[in-house]
Amino acid sequence: MSRLVVISNRVPVPDKKKAAPAGGLAVALRAALSERGGIWLGWSGNSSGDENPGDLSILEDGNITYALTDLTDRDVEEYYHGFANRVLWPICHYRLDLADYGRKEMTGYFRVNRFFAERLVPMLKPDDTIWVHDYHLIPLASELRQMGVKNRIGFFLHIPLPPADVLFAMPVHEEIIRALAHYDLVGFQTDHDLANFVGALEREGIGRSLGNGRLASFERRFRGGHYPIGIETAAFAGFAERAAHNSMVRRARDSMADRPLIIGVDRLDYSKGLTQRIDAYERFILENPRHQGNVTYLQVTPKSRSEVPEYEAMQRTVAEQAGRVNGALGTVDWVPIRYMNRSVARPVLAGLYRLARVGLVTPMRDGMNLVAKEYVAAQDGENPGVLVLSRFAGAAREMSGALLVNPYDIEGTANAIARAIDMPLDERKARWRQMMDHLLEHDVTRWCDDFLRDLTEEEQAGDHPEPV
Ligand code: ADP
Ligand code: G6P
């Protein structure tokens, strides 16, 4: 087996003093890599100010070698806050209204991708398998190819890929698609995302499907596939079983005194549908007064990307909204919404999920949504809770036992919450079993194996994607 070299912008830098960063990519990749081992190159999360970032910092943790680079202030501003998080993120989440395109940011994005390629090349061996992750690094393969790298290079997009009409609103969409054609394999979360990609290729005649996952675009041949990401199902279920002894989980349980808990766990991001979710919960309480003073909603939401104006504005909006609902509905001995802007350790998170009768996962758009899967994995099979899940999360394509909702439909979501709270035990068990069996079979190791098998298999078939 060749050595695996992973590159992503965000890396969960091993630090015993800090909780791991929230975010699906870091959580899933660490789980996948800890078994297989390899090199993981990415951003340290630090800025070098105006100075050129110095040497890479190398950290060994188990069988993973982390190679971390600082970025300059300008890089962080243009590449990360600017193009990645104010152009690609909103557009891929169907939020054209929030996209703020600028040439300076776009140039910075390509410049920093070149910089990552320059940092990577000296570390590479000829038979390494290179796996690039997420929207920050789409142009990396084309930069590596220009530097003469001939290795197999795969790319996985953790976020949605929207249809052509949305994608093409981005002025540089053609460069982005051209960059993807430099990979050997491009992976998406769902068949919808893959179909959107093929649709985008075909719409302007810049590429086509050759069948069987084979694609041609910009005079290159490569492959596309869908690989729904999973979680460490068995390990997470183990955390949840043992969590009853954790003091934070015990405090939460004691404070509930057997009353039902609804849980939401998300980075503070506009794609997560937090304002609509709070509206739906408020409506559920108003329409089901017997639950006033009974049901509590706990929302655990670490702040995210706070330097980006849209995120900063959202932090205020959600905090005000939670405060307003608590003011309007709360009583001397009951707070309707417990709102926390904090990351918690994974075993604690698992324990909190297990306490909750309802997992409320209602993004307006999400590539996969690992929280939905974690909530299911953490349940007690003898008395499981109910997952209420947005139909616009990639996870909805797999979680057949969830109550699916349209998060734009506040009344519909409120009704689903009511149904979940009152669902009989037999139905809860049957729905949970279906989902848990799926999660056990399709865990993060399987996701990693499936992708890497397809990335390396082609090589054996002697079908190296060269210019046609
Ligand atoms: P995204 O990748 O957009 O953040 P996902 O639901 O796919 O959304 O992944 C989020 C990951 O971050 C999950 O693994 C989840 O457990 C973790 N996470 C989210 N919020 C918290 C939190 N408050 N504390 C700890 N981990 C969190
Ligand atoms: C999503 C993205 C990841 C990103 C994470 C957290 O999961 O797909 O690439 O790492 O959000 O966002 P951040 O900007 O903090 O890395």
Enter the tokens of residue 198: 């093929």
Q: Please check the confidence at residue 33 and state whether its pLDDT lies above 90.
A: no
Ligand nearest to the CA of residue 389, numbered in listed order? 1
Are the C-beta atoms of residues 260 and 266 closer than 8 Å to each other? no
Q: What is the pLDDT of residues 347-403, one digit of tens each?
A: 999 999 999 999 999 999 999 999 999 999 999 999 999 999 999 999 999 999 999
Question: Which residue has a Cα nearest atom 27 of ligand 1?
Answer: 22
Q: What is the pLDDT of residues 452-464, one digit of tens each?
A: 999 998 554 444 4
Q: Find where tokens 């849209």 sit.
A: 310
Pocket lining: 8 vs ligand 1, CB cutoff 6 Å: no
Tell me how far the alpha carbon of residue 419 lies from the centroid of ligand 2, in angstroms: 32
pLDDT for the residue numbered 18? 73
Ligand nearest to the CA of residue 361, numbered in listed order? 1
pLDDT for the residue numbered 461? 43
pLDDT for the residue numbered 19? 67
Residues 79-86 have a mean pLDDT of 98
Relative to the CA of 367, which ligand 1 atom is closest? 7
Question: Which residue has a Cα nearest atom 3 of ligand 2?
Answer: 25
Tell me how far the alpha carbon of residue 293 lies from the centroid of ligand 2, in angstroms: 36
Give me the active site residues, please: 158, 366
Residues 172-187 have a mean pLDDT of 97
**Other CB atoms within 10 Å distance of the CB of residue 335:** 15
Pocket lining: 369 vs ligand 1, CB cutoff 6 Å: yes
Pocket lining: 444 vs ligand 1, CB cutoff 6 Å: no
Q: Ligand 2, residues 9, 11, 13, 25: which to mutate, most atoms within 8 A of Cβ? A: 25
Cα 15 versus chain centre, distance: 21
Q: Please check the confidence at residue 32 and state whether its pLDDT lies above 90.
A: no
Query: Rounded CA gap, 326 and 207, in Å?
Result: 53
Are the C-beta atoms of residues 84 and 311 closer than 8 Å to each other? no
Q: Please check the confidence at residue 73 and state whether its pLDDT lies above 60.
A: yes
Q: Please check the confidence at residue 62 and state whether its pLDDT lies above 60.
A: yes
Q: Please check the confidence at residue 136 and state whether its pLDDT lies above 80.
A: yes
Are the C-beta atoms of residues 123 and 39 closer than 8 Å to each other? yes
Average pLDDT, the chain: 95
Q: Give the residues surrounding ligand 2 with Cβ less than 6 Å away.
A: 10, 21, 23-26, 134, 158-159, 304-305
Pocket lining: 365 vs ligand 1, CB cutoff 6 Å: no
Pocket lining: 403 vs ligand 1, CB cutoff 6 Å: no
pLDDT for the residue numbered 44? 95
Question: Which residue has a Cα nearest atom 20 of ligand 1?
Answer: 266
Tell me how far the alpha carbon of residue 179 lies from the centroid of ligand 2, in angstroms: 21
List the single range of 17-21, 246-250, 414-418 with lowest mean pLDDT.
17-21
**Other CB atoms within 10 Å distance of the CB of residue 127:** 11
Tell me how far the alpha carbon of residue 10 lies from the centroid of ligand 2, in angstroms: 7
pLDDT category at 466 given cuts 50, 70, 90 is low
pLDDT for the residue numbered 467? 55
Q: What is the dihedral of CA 377, 383, 389, 394, to 10 degrees?
A: 20
Ligand nearest to the CA of residue 84, numbered in listed order? 2
Tell me how far the alpha carbon of residue 334 lies from the centroid of ligand 1, in angstroms: 27
Pocket lining: 31 vs ligand 1, CB cutoff 6 Å: no
So what's the ipTM on this one? 0.99
Are the C-beta atoms of residues 324 and 278 closer than 8 Å to each other? no
Q: At what angle do helices 425-441 and 233-242 cross, to 10 degrees?
A: 130
Query: Rounded CA gap, 279 and 171, in Å?
Result: 35
Antiparallel, parallel or unpaired: β 57-61 and 64-71: antiparallel
Query: Rounded CA gap, 282 and 321, in Å?
Result: 10
Q: At what angle do helices 274-287 and 410-422 cross, to 10 degrees?
A: 60
DSSP state of 432: H
Q: Please check the confidence at residue 468 and state whether its pLDDT lies above 60.
A: no
Ligand nearest to the CA of residue 393, numbered in listed order? 1
Residues 180-193 have a mean pLDDT of 98
pLDDT for the residue numbered 21? 73
Q: Please check the confidence at residue 24 and state whether its pLDDT lies above 90.
A: no
pLDDT for the residue numbered 433? 98
